Amino acid sequence: MNFYYIFIILFIFTYFLNFFLIKNNLLLDSKKISIHKKFVQDRDKVSYVGGLVILVSCIFFWNENNFAFKVFLIFIFILGLLSDLGMLESPTKRFFLQSIVIVSFLFFFDIKINSQRLIFLDFLLDKKILNLLFTTFCILIVINGSNFMDGLNTLTAGYCLLILFSLIFIFSNNQIIFPNYDLLLITVVSLLVVFLFNIFGKIYLGDNGAYLAAFIISILLIEISKINYIVSPFYVANLLWYPAFENFFSIIRKIIQKKSPMSPDNNHLHHLLFEYFNKNKKFNKVFTNSFTACVINSFNFIIFAFATMYYSNTKIQILIILTSIFFYNLFYFILKKEIYN
């Protein structure tokens, strides 16, 4: 499989597909303009085509003869697409439908999270139903957390690429069994294409892309952790810490503010950092948007570098997670004070 050719094909496909969608006023943002309008420029001229690029690459370039798996990828994509089109605005309905698809997928392929090396949690995971619920919950957290953080150009796409590059590194330098390695590489290629268009604000990942990328990564991480006991489960937690904590922190913050936990707002860390950089008005919004995402992902790159170096050391992984959460809260409250005071 020549991934260079696949990259070129996907790049050309994305260019012409984006041109077609814009010309015909298809798959363009409308319902979210009032919420995120100030963070972007000419948003109504940009399509949410990112998920379609990932889906097409997985269906046509992933050689694995796994029709059922690809069907479930289509289901996940459709849920995100319906959300992008404003046809699935209810957070409760989205959460319910996501749960149905994920539970069906896990049951069909018998995928589950194995030992987490915590006695109480492992006792619960031994129970099939509880394991199914826990695994579903974890995937839901990652999917919706990735969607929450998808408020800036390249933030989610770049973060997903960091995860996949970390996995490629430990696979290339260690004796680790990696199921569906071709799927990982295909996802990397498609996300690179999305990243290159997204960094200049030419296309957006959209809910369809955020859901799909997060779902694929979740399944890859579960499989890797299950097969390779040497890989600490907290290494996996480190790779997913930002969308997971972003989700958790956002829900807690909205409950305190007496808002719906699933309602969108402009108080995420990346929004505050954008506002901070945008204060001086030296750069246009597209540059500030992408630069803000670059700063956040640079911080995550440092975290991932240490997590990857000590991927088998659970104690160090836990320390890295706690340090990451500490600095997230520190930066969040400093930025909030700078902007609103």
Q: pLDDT tens-digit profile of 82-108?
A: 998 888 888 889 999 999 999 999 999
CA dist., res. 47 & res. 77, Å (int): 15
Q: Which of 57-66, 168-177, 304-313 has the lowest mean pLDDT?
A: 168-177
**Average pLDDT, integer, range 260-288:** 80
Q: Contacts from 261-265 at CB under 8 Å and sequence distance 24+?
A: 261/91, 262/91, 262/92, 262/94, 262/95, 262/144, 263/91, 264/32, 264/35, 264/36, 265/35
Any idea which of 22-26, 27-31, 229-233 has the lowest mean pLDDT?
Answer: 27-31
Q: Report whether pLDDT(37) > 70.
A: no
For the chain, give every domain's residue range: 13-27+35-340
Q: 258 vs 185, which has greater pLDDT?
A: 185
> Per residue in 113-159, pLDDT tens?
876 666 667 777 788 888 889 899 999 999 988 888 887 889 999 99
Residue 42 pLDDT more than 70? no
Name the residue with tokens 């809910």: 207
Mean pLDDT, residues 166-186 taken together: 87
> Which region, left, alpha or beta, applies to residue 220 given φ > 0 means left and ψ of -120 to 50 means alpha?
alpha
